[in-house]
Amino acid sequence: MFSGSLRGRLLWWLLLPLAAFVSISGVISYRFAQTNADLVQDNALLSSMRIIGEDVDWANGTVSIQVPPAALELFESPEQDSVFYRVEASGHRLLAGMPDLPLPPHVGDSPKLYVTHLADGRAVRAVAYMRQLYDSGRNEEVVVAVAKTERSRDAMVWRLLRPQLFGEVLTLVLAMVFVYLGLTFELRPLMKVKDDVADRNPSELEPIRVTRLHVELRPIVDAINQCIARMGQQAATQRQFISDAAHQLRTPLALLLAQIQFARQRDNRDVPLAEALAGMHKSSRKLTTLTNKLLLLAQAESPAPSGEHERVDLSALIAGVLEELIAFAQSREIDLGAELEDGLSVAGDEALTAALVTNLVDNALRYTQPGGRVTVQTQRRDDMAVVRVIDNGPGISAQARERVFERFYRASSHAEGTGLGLPIVREIAHRQGGTIRLESNEEGAGLVATVEMRLWAGATRDVAQSVE
């Protein structure tokens, strides 16, 4: 589950050595606790053995013993271990205790510690020694052994070990939690870079700017930025090429058109030649339109120099566009009208904004049937200016609407056109921080093209003044 995640992998890198460390140190702690517990237990056994040994004495010519309670009180503990002892005089004569408590092979003067099992299988820890008793020439060898079960010793091991283990496991858990949280926190700049890159539209070629970036991540972002810059240069070179090519074509095209026109004006009785010239005239006009549109598209695609825009008075601009198109509207018998809100200015490029409106109105006039109606509306909505071009023509089908922004796509074949009008409109709208939307007319037939563009920042003041 962790294999693909940096966080997971780092956790593993930390978890494995830390777990190894905890295990090893756990084993060491366990041994240490055992040694200590044994030491404490053995001391008690030795003391008890000595107390019992000291109490063996002569009475009426033989050795005997009265085991003192103090010798056994030493072992009192909450775990209630069972304690056994065995005191024997020479010749295996049992003086006190349990006769079948096993003894070590050789019991000597110095106490001998050992571990053994009782007849019922219980393990006991024991100590034994031999004491020589002399009395008027007689000598008795008294063996004293004391044993106890290991319950309190095991409990002590656990008591010694517990805080140690708890501390180590806690360290392990805390380390994991902190690494997880720390990484989540520290990866945030990287996530910001991701969001920045993911949210971009393809034409946005600004470098990624992230404040507070780790030294380790900087080379990555720098590399991405260099790549973006190269892509930007590439795109700019392409735009420049199209723009230059269109420019270069314009002059010979204009010349060609003028020459064809000149040829057509000559009194020419040759009908086929006249027809050929008319065809050439039409083609070269188409070519001129296409060249102009390509040039316009290249301009619309190139970002505003240093991102600055000029103030464009919408009403004046639209009035100018409509004036130019009124003849075309009349030729198509279309009622061309405008409903403009006063004092709207947008931030953009005047020539491009004019091209945007021209293209939309041109489409509406071109595709609406004679007798139709085309209206240009402007409206203010929050900090946006809304421009609507409404017609009652055939509209665009839903599936064609998805594609009309593709370059050279045309939904109709009958009228002349290039398929570049709407792509140009969209590029201009985006260049000016705006959007374009195509909807069908509320009345059912026709198209509503809605463009929203950012208002000029001083527009509020202008409107207030115009109201006064």
Chain residues binding ligand ADP by CB under 6 A are: 363-364, 367, 391, 393-396, 404, 410-412, 417-422, 447
CB of 279 to ligand ADP, least distance (A): 20
CB of 355 to ligand ADP, least distance (A): 12
Q: Which does 391 bind (CB under 5 to 8 A by kind): Mg ion, ligand ADP, none?
A: ligand ADP
8 Å CB contact between 423 and 438? no
Q: Which is nearer to Mg ion, 96 or 411 (CB)?
A: 411
CB of 434 to ligand ADP, least distance (A): 17
CB of 431 to ligand ADP, least distance (A): 17
Q: Which does 419 bind (CB under 5 to 8 A by kind): Mg ion, ligand ADP, none?
A: ligand ADP
Q: Which does 372 bind (CB under 5 to 8 A by kind): ligand ADP, Mg ion, none?
A: none
In three-state secondary structure terms, 427 is helix
Torsion of CA 11, 17, 22, 27, to 10 degrees: 150
In three-state secondary structure terms, 390 is strand
Q: Would you tell me which residues interact with Mg ion (CB under 5 A)?
A: 363, 417, 421
Q: Which does 364 bind (CB under 5 to 8 A by kind): ligand ADP, Mg ion, none?
A: ligand ADP
Integer Cα distance of 204 and 279 in angstroms: 42
Q: Which does 346 bind (CB under 5 to 8 A by kind): Mg ion, ligand ADP, none?
A: none
Q: How far is CA 107 from CA 58, 145, 429, 444, in A?
A: 21, 10, 106, 116
Integer Cα distance of 396 and 440 in angstroms: 8
Q: How many other C-beta atoms are found inside a 10 Å radius of the C-beta of residue 86?
A: 22
CB of 416 to ligand ADP, least distance (A): 8
8 Å CB contact between 190 and 10? no
Integer Cα distance of 310 and 306 in angstroms: 12
The pair of structure tokens assigned to 277 is 């010239």
Q: Which does 394 bind (CB under 5 to 8 A by kind): ligand ADP, Mg ion, none?
A: ligand ADP
Q: Which is nearer to ligand ADP, 153 or 293 (CB)?
A: 293
Nearest to 147 by CA among 209, 212, 103: 103
Q: Which is nearer to Mg ion, 363 or 392 (CB)?
A: 363
Q: Which is nearer to ligand ADP, 45 or 390 (CB)?
A: 390
Q: Which is nearer to ligand ADP, 160 or 422 (CB)?
A: 422
What length is written for the chain?
468
Integer Cα distance of 204 and 431 in angstroms: 10
CB of 396 to ligand ADP, least distance (A): 5
